[in-house]
């Protein structure tokens, strides 16, 4: 024991005498400092980032000296030089700071940024359409996650399989932009439109992605990472049956409205004979002059609206924007595909559709 203690003292003393440079990371990983350096080396306030980086640089541990050093800023105080990275360090990575000492021998220090140490908790909360059947010419799915996800190379995690287990090849429109919402909690997954549109080459050559009369399973791999870098808690699965293609526009005249009573905040209910597209039904149907919250059941056939303030008695108007679509992209204003060879003529620009309903007093 005594010998060891002596040795430690001796080292400290000799270290102070030689003023060996020491590298120290700030505990919050926000910067790294090298101390005990020859201040003469730091002279020259004209130093450019390249010059600073030649003296004191940080790289991820996997990057060799040929790779560029990390972007950041340098600040010198006496015999200390501090490097503040331009971006926060990435959890789970090791970084290496290198001080190029005057004697030519580099001084290096590595620094580990701890991984996010939590159990996977993110799940696929909902997949829309939420019903048990979809038309053969279904246009899209929405995947709703319980937390923000990570993007990039996402399509490898999404599989559409026939009942036999055979995977449908390239069923989706894979685009680099990836159609997320701002929070990256909802992904829009379009079926490849070339496999929906009649007489278009992909459909002619290889057929539709979904085939009427068959069952399919959409699977989301658990390996897909959320925004914190953790995999999903479990895979997401939706099985559904396919019905023949739907090529007609939804007709609001066929909807049935159940009007609420005045004085309360009972929901207005609207039933559709066929499922409506989830996001559009929430956004494109409303009540004129009344603010409130819309909802749609999983099957997409029951829409409801709860007003912010109690209903007032009298005539009200349900307003449906013409872009509202069913599951096959047929909008109120126009079917997904218009047969222009036949008798259909160019229609005037579609306008919102109004459906009147009466809010009555009493029970």
Partner 1 sequence: MKTLSTLAFSCLALSVSFAADAPAGLTEGKAEFKSMGPITFALDGTLFIADTKSAAIVAVATNDAKASGSAKPVKVEEFDKKVASLLGTAPDQIKINDVAVNPVSHQVYVAVSRGKGPDAVPVLLRSDAEGKLSEVALDKVKHSRAQLPDAPVDGVVGEGRRQSNPRMESITDIAFLEDRVLVAGLSNEEFSSTLRAIPYPFKTVEGGTSVEIYHGAHGKFETKSPVRTFVPFMVGKEPELLAAYTCTPLVRFPINALKPGAKIKGRTIAELGNQNRPLDMIVYKKDGKDFLLLANSSRGVMKISTDGIEAAGVIEEPVRGGGTKGQSYETIKEWTGVEQLDKLDEAHALVLRKGEGSAVTLESLPLP
Within residues 159-178, the interface with partner 1 by CB under 8 A covers 169-170, 173-177
Residue 14 or 108 having the CB closest to partner 1? 108
Chain residues 283-302 in contact with partner 1, contact rule CB under 8 A: 283-294
348 sits near partner 1 (criterion: CB under 8 A): no
Q: Number of residues in contact with partner 1, rule: CB under 8 A?
A: 88
106 sits near partner 1 (criterion: CB under 8 A): no
Contact by Cβ (8 Å): 262, 313 = yes
With tokens 């306030």, the residue in question is 45
Rounded least distance, CB 197 to partner 1, Å: 5
Chain residues 61-80 in contact with partner 1, contact rule CB under 8 A: 62-63, 67-72
85 sits near partner 1 (criterion: CB under 8 A): yes
Residue 226 or 246 having the CB closest to partner 1? 226
Contact by Cβ (8 Å): 129, 242 = no
Chain residues 209-228 in contact with partner 1, contact rule CB under 8 A: 226-228
Please, which residues have CB within 8 angstroms of residue 234's CB and are 6 or more apart in sequence? 123, 222
CA-to-CA dists, residue 106 to 8, 12, 157, 251, 291, angstroms: 24, 21, 44, 75, 67
323 sits near partner 1 (criterion: CB under 8 A): yes
Contact by Cβ (8 Å): 83, 76 = no
Rounded least distance, CB 73 to partner 1, Å: 12
Residue 65 or 358 having the CB closest to partner 1? 65
Looking at 1-9, 99-107, 203-211, 230-238, which segment touches partner 1 (CB under 8 A)?
203-211
For 351, list phi and psi in degrees, rounded to 5.
-115, 160
Looking at 32-40, 102-110, 188-196, 268-276, which segment touches partner 1 (CB under 8 A)?
188-196
Please, which residues have CB within 8 angstroms of residue 56's CB and are 6 or more apart in sequence? 34, 74, 81, 83, 97, 98, 99, 100
Looking at 144-152, 209-217, 236-244, 254-262, which segment touches partner 1 (CB under 8 A)?
144-152
Residue 21 or 226 having the CB closest to partner 1? 226
3-class secondary structure, 327 = coil
Chain residues 225-284 in contact with partner 1, contact rule CB under 8 A: 226-228, 277, 279-280, 282-284
Residue 100 or 137 having the CB closest to partner 1? 137
338 sits near partner 1 (criterion: CB under 8 A): yes
Which helix (H) or strand (E) covers residue 258, if one does? strand 256-258
3-class secondary structure, 283 = helix
Rounded least distance, CB 7 to partner 1, Å: 38
Q: Tell me the pairing of strands 302-307 and 285-287.
A: unpaired
Q: How many CB atoms lie within 10 A of CB 158?
A: 19
CA distance 317 to 357: 6
Bond into 129 cis (ω within 30): yes
Chain residues 112-141 in contact with partner 1, contact rule CB under 8 A: 139-140
Contact by Cβ (8 Å): 159, 224 = no
38 sits near partner 1 (criterion: CB under 8 A): no
Single residue of 152, 165, 348, 362 touching partner 1 by CB under 8 A: 152
362 sits near partner 1 (criterion: CB under 8 A): no
Strand partners, 312: none
Rounded least distance, CB 78 to partner 1, Å: 27
């Amino acid at each position: 024991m005594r010998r060891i203690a002596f040795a430690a003292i001796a080292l400290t003393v000799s270290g102070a005498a030689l003023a060996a440079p020491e590298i120290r990371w700030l505990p919050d990983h926000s910067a790294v400092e090298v101390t005990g350096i020859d201040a003469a080396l730091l002279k020259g306030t004209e130093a450019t980032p390249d010059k600073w980086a030649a003296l004191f640089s940080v790289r991820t541990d996997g990057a060799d000296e040929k790779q560029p050093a990390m972007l950041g800023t340098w600040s010198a105080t006496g015999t200390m030089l501090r490097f503040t990275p331009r971006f926060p360090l990435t959890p789970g990575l090791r970084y290496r700071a290198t001080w190029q000492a005057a004697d030519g021998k580099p001084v290096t220090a590595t620094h580990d940024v701890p991984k996010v140490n939590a159990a996977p908790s993110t799940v696929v909360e909902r997949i829309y359409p939420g019903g048990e059947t979809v038309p053969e010419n279904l246009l899209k799915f929405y995947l709703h996650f319980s937390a923000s996800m990570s993007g990039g190379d996402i399509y490898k995690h999404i599989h559409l399989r026939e009942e036999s287990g055979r995977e449908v090849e390239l069923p989706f429109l894979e685009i680099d932009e990836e159609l997320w919402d701002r929070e990256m909690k909802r992904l829009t997954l379009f079926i490849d439109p070339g496999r929906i549109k009649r007489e278009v080459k992909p459909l002619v050559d290889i057929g539709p992605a979904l085939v009427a009369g068959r069952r399919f399973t959409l699977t989301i791999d658990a390996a897909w990472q959320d925004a914190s870098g953790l995999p999903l808690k479990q895979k997401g699965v939706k099985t559904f049956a396919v019905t023949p293609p739907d090529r007609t526009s939804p007709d609001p005249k066929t909807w049935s409205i159940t009007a609420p009573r005045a004085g309360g905040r009972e929901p207005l209910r609207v039933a559709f004979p066929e499922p409506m597209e989830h996001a559009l039904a929430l956004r494109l149907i409303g009540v004129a002059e009344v603010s409130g919250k819309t909802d749609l059941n999983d099957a997409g056939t029951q829409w409801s609206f709860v007003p912010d303030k109690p209903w007032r008695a009298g005539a009200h108007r349900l307003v449906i924007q013409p872009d509202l679509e069913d599951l096959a992209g047929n909008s109120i204003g126009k079917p997904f595909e218009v047969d222009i060879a036949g008798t259909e003529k160019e229609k005037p620009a579609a306008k919102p559709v109004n459906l009147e309903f009466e809010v009555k007093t009493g029970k």
